[in-house]
Structure 1
Amino acid sequence: NFRLPKDKTGTTKIGDLAPQDMKKVCSLALIELTALYDILGTEFKQQKAVKIKTKDSGLFGVPLSLLLEQDQKKVPGTKTPLIFQKLIAQIEETTLETEGLLRIPGVATRVKGLCQELEAKFYEGTFNWENVKQHDAASLLKLFIRELPQPLLTVEYLKAFQDVQNLPTRKQQLQALNLLVILLPEANRDTLKVLLEFLQRVIDHRDKNKMTLKNVAMVMAPNLFTFHGFGSKTIEQSEFVMAAGTANVMRFMIQYQKLLWTIPKFIVNQVRKQNTESQKKEKKDKAMKKLLKKMAYDREKHEKQEKAPNDTDVPQGVIRVQAPHLSKVSMAIQLTEELKAGDIVARFLSQKSGNVQTLKKEEVFLYEIGGNIGERCLDDDTYMKDLYQLNPNAEWVIKPKQS
């Protein structure tokens, strides 16, 4: 059973980094994935799809990005399609203990009728959800995934996801899946995450619903892995051969989803290295430009004047943490071997004041900003002294996580 290795500088989850750093993570992940497949003698090639005529509005058979665009006008900030969220909620509303949930299909004619009715009434809010039986909702959910004009795992990477089963060891299979999840577009990744979390909740009731990890993977794999848009028959012909293998890949995705949604430490360290190098290059470029010399000199002088009082203010081994949203807006924190990010947040939250909006512990996080990273949300178990040594020029800010 694979677990995340404990890292004193904290686990970095997808979504914790600033967009400019995440871009670098994706470039590095692509290089890493190509190298991994290459070493193991498996060809890694980003696929191209034949052009398919797609709908430009509605629910079923609409490209995911387009669907999200129209949904965000109705619910700003939503990360997964509203119909997708509603179908999952509808299945869960009854009970997840129903025997054969996801395996037993709804009545085909009824599902087809519901599908048409949803297309007409969902956005108007006039659709009557009381008419939808649980097995019908599960069938509609699977239909929604299958009907996406481009597969949820994307045309580019679907074959690479399928080929994970050909890698020799479990460790390499999980490494490849981790890199593939990182490479997915945000909309696809967020939708996949919500789906996998839901599937795990179904499995949690396996004693009653008889839907074990293996059963759920077998039932769901064809919905994610079957795609007829490559314009070649080779993939269709090998579908039967592939079925058992993709069910294994599906099983890993459900079982190890927490691990798959983290960014490997070596990639985060490479991003830090790239940022340090580009900062050095920037400094050199500035020094070479005559026109900027005076400005650079003035700025340095200004910075020195600004820094002077602070240098005496913050002694060695102490960091200054800012918390603009809390009643205690700034605090000098003495670093010790055992001090963690969660301890600092807790210390700030214990300083209550009546005139500031009360924020709960799960709503605010400590961020590492600047130095050799753009911005990174820290997990509570990050050892601050170790991280400070890794990035001594960072600023430390407590703030709510952006949704």
Structure 2
Amino acid sequence: MLSSSSTTSLSASVSPATSHKVTSDPHDITMETYWREVESIEEEREGEEEEEEGDERKSMDEVELEEAWLLGAGLSSLVTGSAETSRPTAEAVLSTLTRQQAATVRQRLDNYNATLRKINRQPARDVRDIFTEPDEDSADQRPPSPPYQVESPPSRYHTTTKTIRRTANKVRPTLPMLVCEDELPEHSSSAPPTPTPPHTPSLSVSQLRPADWLLWDTPYSEGVAEHKLIGTCSNCVRFHGDETSDLQFVPVSSSQGLTCTDDLSSHDLTRLGFISHIELSTLLLSLGIQTKCTRPQRSRARDSGVFGVSLNSLLENDRKKFPEVKVPVVFQKLLCILEQCGLQTEGILRVSGSAARLKNLRQELDRSCSTFDWSAVRQVDAAGLLKLFIRELPTPLLTHTHMSTFHAVLSVSSVVHQLQVLQLLLLLLPEANRDTLRALLVFLHKVVSHQDQNRMSLWNVSMVMAPNLFVHCNRGNKPSITKQREEMEKAVGGAHLIRLMIKNQDLLWTVPTFLLSQLRQMNLASIQKPFNLSRTTSRLLRKKNKNDRNQLTELCEGVIRVHAPLNTKVSMAIQLDEQTTAKDITSRFQPEISPASQHLYEVGGNICARRLHPDCCLLDVYRVNPHCDWLIKP
């Protein structure tokens, strides 16, 4: 553990050649905040059983690495030889891919088969049985054909891409240094950020940049050829601005409306993760970034209590009382205490409470969480318990599987591409981890918005949370200067990632247009399998057929039939025009109720279920998914 004096001397000794500059006094203050947090963590660990040295994560062998990648891409049938009923077939996944994404899958499968041959095992499906070899001189821009006969989707669902030829023997340019500087004061808004875009960030208008790359029809990996060749690209220059600017990117809406992760069903999010997995690997390879997967640690999850219990176990227990809960109740309680009483408290999250009192509160919560007296918890105690809860999770909030990829984001030189990688990466997190992380980022944004009172700037908050989200490991009593410098670089790198996620959280939870298009295409390719709709939704859709028996069964072009079973038993046929929005439809069914209480959904067709943004143009949605049902519900 480093003292503040050694931290200052180390800060001065770091040469300009290192990847992070540590020169200014404000930065010394934030580094002192980091080391103080590390010291607090180590004090709390005193007296606890140390983990065995042999339990360290080891690199996965080549077979495990490639097999895990193929399973994560939804291509389990290529590995096991049989398609799982809960997952789409490999043909459905492959039918959505662009040529560059398909090349990534082909390379992974080739590596997997080659490794199996080395250890004298039977290879999996031959890559030639899955992909047709493209003509070297062909200018065909279509994705590769699926391995079996699958009905081709309509052209409006087809994603055309340009073939990007990789140039061999190109040296990756030197990445610019990450400069660690204290944040400039932000013009904060007292209103909390809303989960559904568009969101008005708490920054001055001059600092905002519209992230219109969300509206691209082609994947991110298709636009980084320039970046790999010369170290930058037109998008980097366009969006990044000058090096001294501190920009925040905000999503811009399309005519079909932006789609957040909360707007999609769990079924669609699972399938979206397969495409995101392939696109993320393709994008990193196109940027020249290599990632190494590690074997997850053996988690020591507890069966009861609060701390050290997996998120899924906590949610399973909470849903017995609150069926719709997405974030553990104890985590929400801690956030609520801090939001109500701690946002104006100076040094909130940074000031450490009594280790003995924290230990007692932890034992009481583990013993009887349902009868715990929350009124006795002070602000500083709630902050300590919140950070302790995150650290004690048996699987990190960012997961062992993706932790190395989070660190790889720092190797990307452009902030634009860093955000694109983070956006794809967050889609891969398990649902419980993603929802809990989102609740945490919303709270941290509120803390920063009150920095005039609590003296917690964006960089200070990021530095405090870095050793909690990116778990700090003690390297010995007296680490060398080299180890200290490595630890400092990890601290600054982790804080930079948290800073990006806090500032651009609305952007990161927005689903890019090309991913949504590929999801629709995948659903069409496996349309013979019915969607796993909830019982309530299925019952409502069956009931509407009985109610519409005496009404028109075939609608004219541009006419939709909207069902609002909670408002009326009769559906309503509505003629769409270029100005009709989802908000116009919901207002017809509930003029006396707040429009935010219920939403319009597109259900079925080429999507399982998607909540529509109030301002989206319904005629454009109808053209993309003409065979869906339209349902109004909360």
- TM tier relative to shorter chain: 0.7 to 0.9
Match of 2:331 in 1: 84
2:297 and 2:400 in contact (8 A); partners too: no
Distance of 1:235 and 1:157 partners within structure 2: 24
Match of 2:305 in 1: 58
Match of 2:164 in 1: none
Match of 1:377 in 2: 611
Alignment of 1:136-175 (within 5 A): 136-175=381-420
Q: Which structure dedicates a bigger proportion of its chain to helix?
A: 1
1:349 aligns with 2:594: no
> Relative CO higher for 1 or 2, CA cutoff 8 Å, sep ≥ 6?
1
1:242 aligns with 2:510: no
> How high is the TM-score relative to the length of structure 1?
0.83
Distance of 2:409 and 2:585 partners within structure 1: 41
Distance of 1:393 and 1:263 partners within structure 2: 22
Q: 1:236 to 1:194 in 2, by over 3 A?
A: farther
Q: Report the secondary structure of 1:3's partner residue.
A: strand
- Displacement after TM superposition at 1:255 (Å): 0.9
- 1:27-70 Cα offsets, whole Å, 9 max, x none, are 00000111111111212344322314332211112222222222
Match of 2:526 in 1: 278
1:361 aligns with 2:608: no
Aligned partner letter, 1:239: E
Q: 1:367 to 1:228 in 2, by over 3 A?
A: same
Q: Percent identity?
A: 46
Distance of 1:249 and 1:277 partners within structure 2: 37
1:392 aligns with 2:626: yes
Q: Which runs of 5+ in 1 are unaligned?
A: 283-305, 353-358
Distance of 2:430 and 2:484 partners within structure 1: 25
1:162 and 1:225 in contact (8 A); partners too: no
Between Structure 1 and Structure 2, how many residues are aligned?
A: 362
Alignment of 1:4-403 (within 5 A): 4-123=251-370, 125=371, 127-226=372-471, 238-279=486-527, 309-311=552-554, 314-327=555-568, 329-350=570-591, 360-400=594-634
- Displacement after TM superposition at 1:278 (Å): 3.0
Q: 1:53 to 1:395 in 2, by over 3 A?
A: closer
Q: Which runs of 5+ in 2 are unaligned?
A: 1-247, 475-481, 530-548
> How high is the TM-score relative to the length of structure 2?
0.54
Q: 1:128 to 1:6 in 2, by over 3 A?
A: closer
- 1:314-339 Cα offsets, whole Å, 9 max, x none, are 33332222222113732222211121
Match of 1:285 in 2: none
Segment drifting more, 185-194 vs 319-328: 319-328
Aligned partner letter, 2:633: K
Distance of 1:390 and 1:144 partners within structure 2: 44
Aligned partner letter, 2:490: M
Q: Report the secondary structure of 1:2's partner residue.
A: strand
1:349 and 1:361 in contact (8 A); partners too: yes
Q: Report the secondary structure of 1:310's partner residue.
A: coil
- Displacement after TM superposition at 1:101 (Å): 0.7
Distance of 1:18 and 1:131 partners within structure 2: 39
Distance of 2:382 and 2:440 partners within structure 1: 14
1:60 and 1:148 in contact (8 A); partners too: yes
Q: Report the secondary structure of 2:573's partner residue.
A: strand
- 1:156-175 Cα offsets, whole Å, 9 max, x none, are 11121122121121111111
Aligned partner letter, 2:577: T
- 1:190-230 Cα offsets, whole Å, 9 max, x none, are 1111111111111111111111111111111110011659x
- Displacement after TM superposition at 1:246 (Å): 1.0
Q: Report the secondary structure of 2:418's partner residue.
A: helix
Distance of 1:54 and 1:71 partners within structure 2: 17
1:38 and 1:44 in contact (8 A); partners too: no
Supply the RMSD in Å over aligned alpha carbons.
2.5
Distance of 1:370 and 1:77 partners within structure 2: 22
